């Protein structure tokens, strides 16, 4: 069972000023989760979480996480600009991108961010565009299939990210010769894993590779970035990850592999987006139409522009009808948006309480990769974002787009002669 962090009364209070649809974030939950993560890795002196800005690119969210000791993981020019604007400096910023334009490397170096090179050829490209910094990271891709026990989690061999082992070893040799003083390694092998085994299994691969790198190049890594991949249970029947168990699992592998190799001072970094924010965001929407044809449909005022994951991946997001939490789920609906695409559905054949027009629906787990993945297909406009404070008050942290925003990039739109 998933319980919303807002009540019907609170939603109605907000709706009086901010019409649906809107995304709302739970500040209390965000802070508590960040503190638990740091507690789980408190055994590592240099531990730092670099929040994946791409997941929830809102300055207010970044400010909250900065106050909790987090840095930022950026992958674009604008994410770097936002991090800089919010006061993140130098070692507080990781820049992990791929197919990177030169101007982005230039800004990352200017900000003294830790640049994470995705490809061997980027060494030469970075040197020509911005120069080689004294601190750098390389992204590793071991290839093949990544598995935990007998379960295949993902297929790194098909992923566009990272260097082969031979390439990364050669990269460290070249970078050392070019004057780099501080080194790191990064890898991302699976997405949204709901198992406490993922990070420890990944850590062992990276720690063993780090020892091999030291033996073959003389480069002793300053940090190892486990990246993201720790997921959340979108469906109510799954147990969530236990970050305390995960942190302890990584510690055991650290003691087993790195400490005997004289690398017991290597800092551990993470780049979590989904784990940090997804459960602490809701998309709030209102039922505005019902349709009775070959199926029963409920039309809401949100659409895939506001939450793309169900349309893009067929992803499940739990739905609560506020005020009807205790009523039987005895009606089968497709819950749809208004885009001219048949995949614009938040739920298919979902058993829910009887929905009446005007009912407020909460779509769960939209705090990461929710608003962020929005777009303007059909000329639809992006929604507002709201922050629910620990004392129960709320404030607008991003207004909804207007038609004027949509047309603003069209030269002389309002003066066009037909």
Say whether both 103 and 190 belong to one domain: yes
The set of long-range contacts for 213-220, using a CB threshold of 8 Å and a minimum separation of 24, is: 213/168, 213/169, 213/172, 213/185, 214/261, 214/263, 216/169, 217/169, 217/172, 217/173, 217/176, 218/176, 219/172, 219/173, 219/176, 219/183, 220/183, 220/262, 220/263
pLDDT tens track for 341-372:
999 999 999 999 999 999 999 999 999 999 99
CA-based nearest residue to 226, from 243, 206, 197, 212: 206
| DSSP β-ladder status, 319-321 and 360-363 | antiparallel
**Residue that is last in its domain, among 272, 306, 339:** 272
Q: Which CATH number belongs to the domain containing residue 289 in this structure?
A: 2.40.37.10
The whole-number pLDDT of residue 191 equals 84
Does residue 37 form part of some domain? no
Say whether both 268 and 365 belong to one domain: no
Say whether both 123 and 215 belong to one domain: yes
The whole-number pLDDT of residue 93 equals 98
Say whether both 243 and 286 belong to one domain: no
Could you tell me which residues come within 8 angstroms of residue 255 by beta carbon, excluding any fewer than 6 positions away? none
The whole-number pLDDT of residue 151 equals 62
Does residue 180 form part of some domain? yes
CB contact burial 330-354 (16+ within 10 A = b; e otherwise): eeebbbbbbbeeeebbbbeebebbe
The whole-number pLDDT of residue 203 equals 96
Say whether both 162 and 241 belong to one domain: yes
pLDDT tens track for 181-198:
999 999 988 888 999 999
Say whether both 96 and 242 belong to one domain: yes
Say whether both 243 and 354 belong to one domain: no
Does residue 369 form part of some domain? yes
Q: Which residues pair with 331 in a beta bridge?
A: 352
Does residue 191 form part of some domain? yes
The whole-number pLDDT of residue 148 equals 73
The whole-number pLDDT of residue 159 equals 78
Asked if pLDDT for residue 85 goes beyond 60, the answer is: yes
Does residue 411 form part of some domain? no
The whole-number pLDDT of residue 153 equals 59
Asked if pLDDT for residue 157 goes beyond 90, the answer is: no
Does residue 112 form part of some domain? yes
The structure's pTM equals: 0.95
Distance of CA 31 to the CA centre of its chain: 16
Say whether both 233 and 204 belong to one domain: yes
Q: Which CATH number belongs to the domain containing residue 215 in this structure?
A: 3.20.20.10
**Residue that is last in its domain, among 249, 272, 295:** 272
CA-based nearest residue to 110, from 96, 98, 93: 93
**Residue that is last in its domain, among 248, 272, 296:** 272
Q: How many domains does the chain have?
A: 2
Say whether both 387 and 293 belong to one domain: yes
Cβ contact 62:30 at 8 Å: no
What's the burial of 43, exposed, middle or buried (CB within 10 Å: 0-12/13-18/19+)? Answer: middle
Does residue 143 form part of some domain? yes
The whole-number pLDDT of residue 197 equals 94
More confident call, 19 vs 414: 19
The whole-number pLDDT of residue 369 equals 96
More confident call, 313 vs 114: 114
Say whether both 219 and 109 belong to one domain: yes
| DSSP β-ladder status, 135-139 and 182-186 | parallel
pLDDT tens track for 257-307:
999 999 999 999 999 999 999 999 999 999 999 999 999 999 999 999 999
Asked if pLDDT for residue 152 goes beyond 60, the answer is: no
Query: What is the pLDDT confidence band of residue 417, given thresholds at 50, 70 and 90?
Result: low
Say whether both 171 and 209 belong to one domain: yes
Could you list the residue range(s) of the whole structural domain that residue 210 is in? 89-272
Say whether both 93 and 231 belong to one domain: yes
Does residue 28 form part of some domain? no
* Arithmetic mean of pLDDT over the chain: 95
pLDDT tens track for 308-350:
999 999 999 999 999 999 999 999 999 999 999 999 999 999 9
Cis-peptide, bond into residue 21, ω within 30° of zero: yes
Asked if pLDDT for residue 123 goes beyond 90, the answer is: yes
The whole-number pLDDT of residue 189 equals 84
Cβ contact 264:221 at 8 Å: no
State the Cα–Cα distance between residues 117 and 163, nearest whole angstrom.
Answer: 9
């Amino acid at each position: 069972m998933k319980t919303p962090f807002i009540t019907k009364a609170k939603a109605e209070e907000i709706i009086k000023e901010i019409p649906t649809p809107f995304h709302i974030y739970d500040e209390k939950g965000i802070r508590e989760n960040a503190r638990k993560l740091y507690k789980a890795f408190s055994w590592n002196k240099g531990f730092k979480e670099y929040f994946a800005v791409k997941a929830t690119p809102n300055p207010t969210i970044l400010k909250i996480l900065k106050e909790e000791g987090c840095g930022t993981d950026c992958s674009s020019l604008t994410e770097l600009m936002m991090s800089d604007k919010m006061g993140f400096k130098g070692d507080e910023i990781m820049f992990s991108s791929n197919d990177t334009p030169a101007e982005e490397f230039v800004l990352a170096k200017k900000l003294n961010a830790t640049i994470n090179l995705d490809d061997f050829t980027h060494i030469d490209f970075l040197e020509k565009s911005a120069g080689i910094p004294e601190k750098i990271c390389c992204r590793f891709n071991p290839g093949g299939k990544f598995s935990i026990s007998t379960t295949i989690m993902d297929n790194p061999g098909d992923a566009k990210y990272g260097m082969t082992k031979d390439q990364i070893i050669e990269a460290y040799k070249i970078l050392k010769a070019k004057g780099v003083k501080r080194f790191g390694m990064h890898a991302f092998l699976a997405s949204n894993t709901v198992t406490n085994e993922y990070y420890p299994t990944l850590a062992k691969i990276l720690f063993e590779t780090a020892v091999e790198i030291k033996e073959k190049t003389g480069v002793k890594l300053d940090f190892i970035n486990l990246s993201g991949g720790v997921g959340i249970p979108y469906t109510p029947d799954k147990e969530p990850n236990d970050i305390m168990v995960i942190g302890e699992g990584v510690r055991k592998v650290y003691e087993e592999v790195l400490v005997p190799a004289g690398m017991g001072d290597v800092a551990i970094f993470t780049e979590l987006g989904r784990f940090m924010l997804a459960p602490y965001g809701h998309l709030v929407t209102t039922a505005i139409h019902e349709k009775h044809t070959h199926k029963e449909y409920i039309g809401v005022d949100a659409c895939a522009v506001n939450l793309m994951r169900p349309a893009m991946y067929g992803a499940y997001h739990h739905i609560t009808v506020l005020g009807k939490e205790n009523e039987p789920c005895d009606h089968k609906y497709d819950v749809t948006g208004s885009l001219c695409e048949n995949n614009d559905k938040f739920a298919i054949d979902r058993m829910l309480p009887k929905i009446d027009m005007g009912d407020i629906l909460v779509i769960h787990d939209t705090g990461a990769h929710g608003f962020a993945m929005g777009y303007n297909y059909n000329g639809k406009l992006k929604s507002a974002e709201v922050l629910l404070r620990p004392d129960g008050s709320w404030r607008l942290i991003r207004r909804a787009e207007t038609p004027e925003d949509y047309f603003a990039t069209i030269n002389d739109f309002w003066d066009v002669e037909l």
